[in-house]
Structure 1
Amino acid sequence: MIEAVWITFAFALGLGAKKTGLPPLVGYLAAGFAIAGAGSYLQVTTESTQALDHLAHLGVLLLLFSVGLKLKLKSLVKPEVIGGGLLHFTVACIVFMPGIVFFLDVTWYTAILLAVALSFSSTVLAAKVLEGKRELRAFHGRVAIGILIIQDLIALLVMSIASGTTPSPWALLVFLLPLLRPVIYKLMDTSGHEELLVLLGLLLAVVLGGYGFEAVGLSSELGALAFGALLANHSRAHELSKSLWSIKEVFLVGFFLNIGIGGLPSSEAWLFAGVALLALPLKGLLFYFLLVLFKLRARSSFLASLSLTNYSEFGLIVASVVLPEWLTALALTVALSFIVSAPLNRVAHGLYEKLGSHLIKFERSCYHPDEQPLSINEEVLVIGMGRTGTAAYKHLVEKNLTVIGLDSDPDKVEKHQKAGLNVIFSDAEDQMLWKHLDAPNLKSVILAANDVEAKVMAAKNLRKRDFKGVIIAHSLYKDHADQITAAGADYTHLTFSETGIGLAEHLISKREEACEPTTS
């Protein structure tokens, strides 16, 4: 019966949070508190059960496995990511600790762990905000996600140290994990695209990573992350992450419910959350000035910082292991920070337009290489270098036209560059590309990106810049084709339908040839 109560409360309050523009997980935390409050009022037991505990733990393991799937060393080994992440963590802990001791009268050990928990930013909220605005692959989005991964790694290290567990000698076998990569890759390749792929993800995250690491005295969270990282460079890592997304989200509902059911916030918890909320702007300002220090432009620094100005569910995971008595207070703090952060991120670009003249004063005179103005001297630009874009690029080169390709996937760009193609990295959805683009000889553009929003934005911005040349696009669906054409494209090729028409024309041609009388 209690499971029906959990589901009802979680859905109702999660939907309510979503309708007001907040992340649903704020509603899930509120649902836990509401269940605890109702139980107290009605004098009935609403404590967590073993099933909910397991559900919560599975959610955490799948979250960390998903983080591991994004752990590409090339994207992390950047000064602004490593330096920004480590420096922010260090300075934030130093700033938060005295305030925690002063306001809460706790030991320095507790203050250190609370400061560590507050120094993290939310991976879930930032990823959802950036994905919703189509900015995950923009420069500021990649910097923000990179910093979040650094923070997640720090969180795991803190949990391992603070938990005080002693690994068994068998734990040394962990260093042999890379030898398993060929076997795991083979399993990925043979698992298909449906339920077997999902089960493989659960096997790696929960069984081998979670319980396997626990069996040798190591953190199950670390195991889930490690097995995710083993697959990070596989071509289907993103597909696996998407397949597990819904399951992970459902299990994480259990994690947030579990926290809320633990009890209603005390006056001390409200005091802690209030003080932490007052300190939230300092966290954002610190991110901004550190990123400017690493040569990012004011706009990129501001947008990345705003997406990181919140408190993290990873802080709750750390607290659940080393500070369980502070879990409710930290949960309240995270929920309140989301209530502040989510609406601000929805209007981030508008905020920058208002504050940009003040923020730009702190820019350095030299810029990050990824933020240099883009200069194109070629006649044809191909946006999106997947199969369609690559085929168009090669055909145009054969016709002796000067062509340049553009793609937002760094790995794809590197692959094309190694093959000798003139391809550069940039994101068609990044407004800074169009603001600083210099293309005096450009006469034609092919829009071959997979994302319809990218094609619409590219067409609109090209026409805004008074581009008079030809813009050709392709689309799978007629309504998308209409959007792209309305945005400024001269012609949008309906890929499937026109391919079908082409096949039919070939068939008619072959039939006519077969019916022609032969001459002796």
Structure 2
Amino acid sequence: MTEALWIFFAFTLGLLARSAGLPPLVGYLVAGFTLSGLAAPFDLQTEDNLILGELAHLGVLLLLFTVGLKLKFRSIFRPEVIGGSLLHFAITGLVFMPGLYLLLDLSTADALTLAIALSFSSTVLAAKVLESKQELRAFHGRVAIGILVMQDLLALGVMSLTAGHSPSVYALLVFALPLLRPLLFRLLDASGHDELLVLLGLMLALAVGGIGFELAGLSSELGALLMGALLARHPRAVELSNSLWSVKEVFLVGFFLQIGMGGLPDDHALLFAVVAALLLPLKGLLFFGLLLLFRLRARSSFLSSLLLTNYSEFGLILASVALPQWLVPLAVTVALSFIISAPLNRLAHPLYARIARYIDPLESSKRHPDEQPVSLGDTRVLIIGMGRTGTAAYEELRHTESRLMGLDSDPARLKGHRMAGRNVFFADAEDFNFWQTLDMPELEAVILCLHDIEGKKIAARKLRERGFTGFIAAHTLHEDEVPQIREAGADDAYLTMNETGVALAGHVNQHLNPVDRTPLPESLG
């Protein structure tokens, strides 16, 4: 009975939200509050809420695991990420604490804890927005996720202090996790493409990352994220993420329902949430200013800041540990911030286009290294994605084409290519900033060898938007993806297995019917 009500209200209100042009998650939040109001008439038991809480937790772990699959550690250890997150954390705490202390008549410790809870932004919402827009690997997406990971680490530290316990000595084993990467790669290779692949993802996210980290006194959320990040460099990381998509989406509905079912708010909670919502622009402006200080372009600073302009589910977790009396007001605050933030992020790019002329002059004349304009020089043929297929194409073309260049988003792969004498450089085809600054004066042909269908579509679309009229070819494993790639702007897309079969048949034909290449006698020449 209870599960049927969850599904009914989540679907109905999610559909209404989508019909109104809002993300379905807004409907799920409203469904949660509706169910909270119906708890007594429908006899929704505490045990049912505990079950929903478990489902919600699983959804968060799976989401963070899939975020980790697309995360590169180098995107975290950057000045704008570490500096931006720490400065925002410190400034927000110092500004919010006196106001909370004076206006709410709290103790100094409670005011500081509540200020810290309000300083965090939502990893779940940002990851969900970026994932839905295929911008997890875009520069502004990497910056936002990096800052959120830093905030999560800060939240874990604060929760350890307020709960009066610290991680166990086994937590030091986290530093040995990179040693597991070869084993994890072998497991992923051996898992095939069916249910074993899904089970591997669930085991790593929920068992190894979730329960394993909890036993070591660390956050299960951090564990799921790190386990995903360990597999991010594997060629099948995208396939693993896609295989978990439907399971993760269903469990995440439980997360948003749970926030709303935290309890019906009273007048005090509603007033607190409204005031906190009015302060959201200040939170976003602080992020925007800090990122500009680290020499990000105004566009990147704006998009990253908009993703971070909300309150965090980690604030609820912190409140459950240190400020249980503030759990419902914070739940309403987080829900209201989601309702405001989600539609704004859906319109992020049009919003930037409207205000670009006002904020672009604010950016530094010195650009961030990752946002320098890119020029292809006299390159005639460009290969995007230098994995096995891209490398094979490069080797075939290098015999006849001297003006050849490859691009790849994996820094570790670049070293091997350069040692082999290939003209390969770093670039992320899914980073919209890359296309904004790309100069390609003599480019005539592009080969798309990216693993991800979305990457191919983005690259083809952006090339055409930049005025490129040359030939674009791509490869794909799936026949239903061919029309999508062509529609995005590619001249043609070839099925990898078909092309492999043709090449194999050519080799066999050459063996059975060798061409006589013996030079003709001079008398017959």
With over 3 angstroms needed to count, the CA separation of the structure-2 counterparts of 1:382 and 1:235, relative to structure 1, is closer
Q: Indicate the residue corresponding to 1:26 in structure 2.
A: 26
Quote the sequence identity (%). 60
Q: Indicate the residue corresponding to 2:46 in structure 1.
A: 47
Deviates further, 438-447 or 231-240: 231-240
Instruction: Note the C-alpha offset of 1:493.
Output: 4.3
- The AA in structure 2 aligned to 1:3 is E
1:299-378 matches, cutoff 5 A: 299-377=299-377, 378=379
With over 3 angstroms needed to count, the CA separation of the structure-2 counterparts of 1:445 and 1:287, relative to structure 1, is same
With over 3 angstroms needed to count, the CA separation of the structure-2 counterparts of 1:169 and 1:476, relative to structure 1, is closer
Contact 1:384/1:448 (<8 A) preserved: yes
With over 3 angstroms needed to count, the CA separation of the structure-2 counterparts of 1:409 and 1:306, relative to structure 1, is farther
Instruction: Note the C-alpha offset of 1:51.
Output: 2.9
Contact 2:409/2:427 (<8 A) preserved: yes
* Counterpart Cα distance in 2 of 1:504 and 1:207: 43
Q: Indicate the residue corresponding to 1:391 in structure 2.
A: 392
Instruction: Note the C-alpha offset of 1:290.
Output: 0.9
Structure 2: give runs of 5+ residues left out of the alignment: 515-525
Q: Indicate the residue corresponding to 2:290 in structure 1.
A: 290
Deviates further, 448-457 or 323-332: 448-457
Instruction: Note the C-alpha offset of 1:472.
Output: 3.8
* Counterpart Cα distance in 1 of 2:305 and 2:248: 26
SS, match of residue 383 in structure 2: strand
SS, match of residue 404 in structure 1: strand
Contact 2:457/2:484 (<8 A) preserved: yes
1:419-458 matches, cutoff 5 A: 419-451=420-452, 454-455=455-456, 458=459
Q: How many residues align?
A: 512
Contact 1:476/1:496 (<8 A) preserved: yes
Deviations 1:225-272 (A, max 9, x none): 565555555555554444444334433433443443342011111111
Contact 1:188/1:197 (<8 A) preserved: yes
Q: Indicate the residue corresponding to 1:279 in structure 2.
A: 279
SS, match of residue 254 in structure 2: helix
* Counterpart Cα distance in 2 of 1:191 and 1:119: 41
Q: Indicate the residue corresponding to 1:73 in structure 2.
A: 73
Q: Indicate the residue corresponding to 1:517 in structure 2.
A: none
With over 3 angstroms needed to count, the CA separation of the structure-2 counterparts of 1:395 and 1:64, relative to structure 1, is closer
1:462-481 matches, cutoff 5 A: 462=463, 467=468, 469-474=470-475, 481=482
* Counterpart Cα distance in 2 of 1:374 and 1:182: 34
Instruction: Note the C-alpha offset of 1:95.
Output: 2.1
Contact 2:70/2:136 (<8 A) preserved: no
With over 3 angstroms needed to count, the CA separation of the structure-2 counterparts of 1:240 and 1:486, relative to structure 1, is closer
Contact 2:390/2:449 (<8 A) preserved: yes
1:57-72 matches, cutoff 5 A: 57-66=57-66, 72=72
Contact 1:47/1:262 (<8 A) preserved: no
Instruction: Note the C-alpha offset of 1:71.
Output: 5.8
* Counterpart Cα distance in 2 of 1:67 and 1:463: 29
Q: Indicate the residue corresponding to 1:115 in structure 2.
A: 115
Contact 1:137/1:408 (<8 A) preserved: no
Instruction: Note the C-alpha offset of 1:324.
Output: 2.9
Deviates further, 172-181 or 382-391: 172-181
Deviations 1:374-395 (A, max 9, x none): 1112222222323332222221
Contact 1:117/1:316 (<8 A) preserved: yes
Contact 1:47/1:261 (<8 A) preserved: no
Q: Indicate the residue corresponding to 2:520 in structure 1.
A: none
With over 3 angstroms needed to count, the CA separation of the structure-2 counterparts of 1:407 and 1:277, relative to structure 1, is same
Deviations 1:52-89 (A, max 9, x none): 34334444444555555566432211111111121122
Contact 1:296/1:363 (<8 A) preserved: yes
SS, match of residue 406 in structure 1: strand
With over 3 angstroms needed to count, the CA separation of the structure-2 counterparts of 1:327 and 1:450, relative to structure 1, is same
SS, match of residue 15 in structure 1: helix
The TM-score normalised by the length of structure 1 is: 0.84
Instruction: Note the C-alpha offset of 1:462.
Output: 4.4
Q: Indicate the residue corresponding to 1:106 in structure 2.
A: 106
1:187-206 matches, cutoff 5 A: 187-206=187-206
Contact 2:67/2:127 (<8 A) preserved: no
Instruction: Note the C-alpha offset of 1:447.
Output: 3.4
Q: Indicate the residue corresponding to 2:494 in structure 1.
A: 494
1:101-180 matches, cutoff 5 A: 101-165=101-165
SS, match of residue 425 in structure 2: strand
Contact 1:23/1:338 (<8 A) preserved: no
With over 3 angstroms needed to count, the CA separation of the structure-2 counterparts of 1:185 and 1:266, relative to structure 1, is same
Q: Indicate the residue corresponding to 2:404 in structure 1.
A: 403
Deviations 1:160-193 (A, max 9, x none): 2221136666666666666655555554444444
SS, match of residue 398 in structure 1: coil
With over 3 angstroms needed to count, the CA separation of the structure-2 counterparts of 1:136 and 1:369, relative to structure 1, is same
* Counterpart Cα distance in 2 of 1:310 and 1:218: 25
Contact 2:60/2:124 (<8 A) preserved: no
* Counterpart Cα distance in 2 of 1:213 and 1:473: 41
Structure 1: give runs of 5+ residues left out of the alignment: 515-520
- The AA in structure 2 aligned to 1:304 is S
Deviations 1:201-236 (A, max 9, x none): 444444445444555655555555565555555555
* Counterpart Cα distance in 1 of 2:404 and 2:22: 45
Contact 2:62/2:205 (<8 A) preserved: yes
With over 3 angstroms needed to count, the CA separation of the structure-2 counterparts of 1:302 and 1:419, relative to structure 1, is farther
SS, match of residue 39 in structure 1: coil
- The AA in structure 2 aligned to 1:194 is D
* Counterpart Cα distance in 2 of 1:478 and 1:61: 33
The TM-score normalised by the length of structure 2 is: 0.84
- The AA in structure 2 aligned to 1:286 is L
